[in-house]
Amino acid sequence: MVRGFSPAAAAAVFRRQNFLIRCLGGYRKEKNYSNNFHHHCVIRMHSAMSGGPSLEADAVSILRSITPTLDPTRHKGQAGKVAVVGGCREYTGAPYFSAISALKLGADVSHVFCTKDAATVIKSYSPELIVHPILEESYSIRNEEKGSISAKVIEEVDKWMERFDCLVIGPGLGRDPFLLDCVSNIMKHARESNVPMVIDGDGLFLVANSPDLVRGYPLAVLTPNVNEYKRLVQKILNCEVNDEEGSKQLLALGKGIGGVTILRKGKSDFITDGEKVSAVSIYGSPRRCGGQGDILSGSVAVFLSWARQSANRGELGTNPTILGCIAASAILRKAASLAFDQKKRSTLTSDIIECLGRSLEEICPVIS
């Protein structure tokens, strides 16, 4: 009992304190995953990695600065038009997770360019997505058809390219050689059109083998997990990952690929454009179900688009690609935290997606 209070009054005090803690940053009942404890430990890790002060970004302020207001005078498309390039026979969930996450956060339109075998399945997941069954895998075509089919793929994508604010390359793409060749050509056309690209999953496998696809392109974002990051370091820097010099190595990798933005996923997310490193460690969840990277890729596409809109209005003084990555990382981590509070070990990617809207609303309320 709190000294000087009756049991009922003490309980009321504790309830009020817990409510305030939740409002201020994701209170967690599990003592091993207390947000404040986790945040303190990660800040110390950041200092050790950098040899200086914390790298932690002010993610909440960034979210508030780039998230647009809901204005009744705006028309469809102004809040973002995103396209996901991915999805094959084996992998239909990943492109869906990426595309639907973009819509759940507030993008107006979300497309998926996938193989014919994947299209019907992805369409069945949601009528909200615009699905283009234009990609082909090697098993379904003859060698003499490859040239004409590749040209048709590019022709179809080019019809839409100028409408998109951002492409997401790689979720559920697979590693079929002909499919990867077609996607390489799509990336080249996107670059010629100055369309931003978020590259994840098997798109990163493609980049690791053909880094010139993104080298020197400041509108490209790479979102590697631990194994994908290892491949990039080996390919670009010709060495192994060295976490004791984590920030320096991440900077070197960003410079080595020519100033693209890299969002290195992990217990904390580290982000660089080759000039500086920022970190996001707030919120988070101990549950590591597959598909969270797909949510992140769609989220980066949306926030990158919003940050570029703010930059075009002269409202930002920082690289909008970096700001978009920080915002997306923070909102996914918050959504994962909320989902874990509800579902614990049974948390799935779909549970996290359902928490995206609430997570953004708690930080950037529609009516403040």
Provide the token pair at 349: 């990617």
Q: Which CATH class is domain 59-67+75-362?
A: alpha beta
List phi, psi (to 5°) of 279.
Answer: -130, 150
Run of H or E residues at 241: none
| Residue ranges at the known binding site for ATP | 265-269, 284-293
* 250/205 Cα distance (integer angstroms): 18
pLDDT of residue 40: 40
In this prediction, residue 14 has a pLDDT band, given cuts at 50, 70 and 90, of: very low
The more confident residue out of 324 and 77 is: 324
pTM as predicted: 0.86
Residues annotated within a binding site: 172, 225-231, 265-269, 284-294
Contact by Cβ (8 Å): 329, 269: yes
Q: Taking residues 219-229, report their average pLDDT.
A: 97
pLDDT above 60: residue 21: no
Calculate mean pLDDT across residues 45-71: 77
Q: What pLDDT is stored for residue 368 in this prediction?
A: 55
Task: Please list the residues that pair with 131 across neighbouring strands.
Answer: 112
Q: Is the pLDDT of residue 315 over 90?
A: no
Q: Which of 21-35, 150-164, 202-216, 293-307 has the lowest mean pLDDT?
A: 21-35
Per-residue pLDDT averaged across 307-336, rounded? Answer: 94
Q: What is the pLDDT of residue 71?
A: 85
- The end-to-end CA distance of the chain, in Å, is 37
Token pair 């990617």 in the structure block, residue: 349
pLDDT digits (tens, 9 = 90+) for 83-141: 999 999 999 999 999 999 999 999 999 999 999 999 999 999 999 999 999 999 999 89
Least Cα distance to 333 among 32, 6, 52, 39 occurs for 39
What is the C-alpha separation between 61 and 209, in angstroms, rounded?
37
Strand order across the 197-199 sheet: 130-135, 109-115, 81-85, 166-169, 197-199, 220-222, 261-264, 269-272, 277-280
Task: Tokens for 51, please give them.
Answer: 């040899």
| Residue 303 predicted with pLDDT over 70 | yes
With beta carbons less than 8 A apart as the criterion, state whether 174 and 202 touch: yes
pLDDT in tens, 175-210: 999 999 999 999 999 999 999 999 999 999 999 999
pLDDT at 48 over 50: no
Q: Is the pLDDT of residue 50 over 60?
A: no
Q: What's the pLDDT at 32?
A: 39
Element housing 166 (H / E): strand 166-169
Pairing mode, strands 269-272 and 261-264: antiparallel
Q: What is the predicted pLDDT for the residue at 186?
A: 98
The ranges assigned to domains in the chain are: 59-67+75-362
CA distance 57 to 245: 19
Name the E strands within 170-236.
197-199, 220-222
DSSP state of 134: E
Q: Which residues are annotated as a binding site for (6S)-NADPHX?
A: 172, 225-231, 294
Q: What is the largest CA-CA distance in the chain?
A: 87
